[in-house]
Amino acid sequence: MSRLGSIVLAAVMGLLSTQYAGAVELTESATDSRTFQTKSQVQTTGQVFTLSSEGKKDPLKLAATAQLQFRSRRLPPAGRDAEALRSVREFEVARVDTEVSGFKTAVVLPAQLKTVVASGTREGVRSYCPEVLMTREALDLLEMPGDPLALIALLPLESVEVGGTWAPNEWAIQMLSGVEAAESSQMTCTLESADQTTAVFAFTGDVKGQRLGAVSTVQFTGRVQYNVAEKFISAAKLRYSVKSEVGTINPGLEALVDVDFTRSLSNTPGMLTDAYVQNIPLNAPETALELVFDAVPWGLRLLHGRDWHLFQAVFESSESQHAVAILRMVDQGALVSQCNIAPVTNVQPGKRTPPQEFERDIQTSLGSRLTKLSEQEDIPTNNGRYIYRVVAEGEVEISGDKGGVKIPMNWIYYLCTNSDGRQVSFVFAVEPELRETLGEQDRNIVTSASFFAVPQAGR
């Protein structure tokens, strides 16, 4: 063969070896100490809906845009499977703008929540701030579709050749979907291309189950780019098709969610220094996972567990509606308890509404539903506050197409009186068989209450 022919053949063979690299290892090390920079944009279009009295859908047009930008570093595994996926993040941008039938809202991550620890769970990626307790609003903002930790969970355990396929673990599929109680799931990943620098794999799948007490179906497709030389996921484009019935917390949803993100090595660790990372505990303290709920017009702050969600809040009374905030507890997709919180008439500082008067108000409120009052008690405090607790036992009638049915119900009432005379009532409705699931959460929420000065109008 001539020298020119040898050169041409070598060039062709070099090109072929670049285009086809054989089996490729797609992994990300849990001990990687590098800092990454991630930019993610999420576009949502579709509709939310409630059900009319006739059971028909009342749709409202939905459009939302989320932008997230953050540095991140991997943290040591806290367990197996999803629990092995942990990172600490420093957010530079975290914002979502939503429009529902012309009504616009914007949520921005508060500056004090800039650093967040993200941990994998079967139900999704869980975030908490090591320095400050989070609100539900902030937590929801950071539940990003196509989270990098969830995509890392899709990587194959063994090397794959171009055209090869694999099926991720069920927990990884559920983690990517965010469905809390999955009934079925499936996914297929295919390595589409690979060379010495970049590999691309595509996936398609779906999950059916319960999310926040609603029957939900999530279908997704995506294409993920992997940096072969540096061994990390560098970009991804995903599309979620979400259908969710009206649930115990949220309205129904039919939407397309498009995710586009890039990920690169950062030239600075920012706040995520070795010293900062070393101070993050392997397991999140239980107190760090509590959420804050502020009823600002009432000057009231509460702490609650993550199973509790705000269902409704009306802070000013009107002719048609009393001021009330409603929280609902959902466990594995099922409603456990509803808590109604409302301000009541103030008393003189250092005084409280007499327990007998509070009990008469309970009897009047429940009427024929009440069977008896039990478990009356004063709860000791060390801050000059009075807390009185009463359990009301009775039943409620649920109407349906085939008539009504009566079910037993407990209402756990609390009257919380601050030292300055401000008062708030709490009512936890729970079926007797679910009292054990509720546990001490009702008492914990009430005893966590703190009062602050109500902001003056115009200030």
pLDDT computed for residue 95 by the predictor: 97
State the DSSP code for 456: P
pTM of the full predicted structure? 0.88
pLDDT computed for residue 54 by the predictor: 65
Long-range contacts of the stretch 200-204 (C-beta < 8 A, 24+): 200/224, 200/225, 200/226, 201/26, 201/160, 201/226, 203/154
Residues of the chain with pLDDT under 50: 1-21, 458-459
Q: How far apart are CA 59 and CA 57, in angstroms?
A: 6
List beta partners, residue 411.
392, 429
User: Is the distance from CB of 117 to CB of 90 less than 8 angstroms?
Assistant: no
Going by C-beta distance under 8 Å and a sequence separation of 6 or more, which residues neighbour residue 219? Answer: 205, 206, 240, 241
Give the model confidence (pLDDT) of 243-268 as tens digits.
999 988 889 999 999 999 999 999 99
> Parallel, antiparallel, or unpaired: how do β-strands 308-314 and 324-331 relate?
antiparallel
Give the model confidence (pLDDT) of 170-228 as tens digits.
999 999 999 988 999 999 999 999 999 999 999 999 999 988 888 999 999 999 999 99
User: Is the distance from CB of 429 to CB of 338 less than 8 angstroms?
Assistant: yes
Q: How far apart are CA 86 and CA 92, in angstroms?
A: 19
Tell me the three state secondary structure of residue 415: strand
CA count, 13 A, side-chain hemisphere, 79: 9
Helices H, strands E: what count in the chain?
A: 8, 23
> Parallel, antiparallel, or unpaired: how do β-strands 115-121 and 214-227 relate?
unpaired
Tell me the three state secondary structure of residue 405: strand
pLDDT computed for residue 327 by the predictor: 97
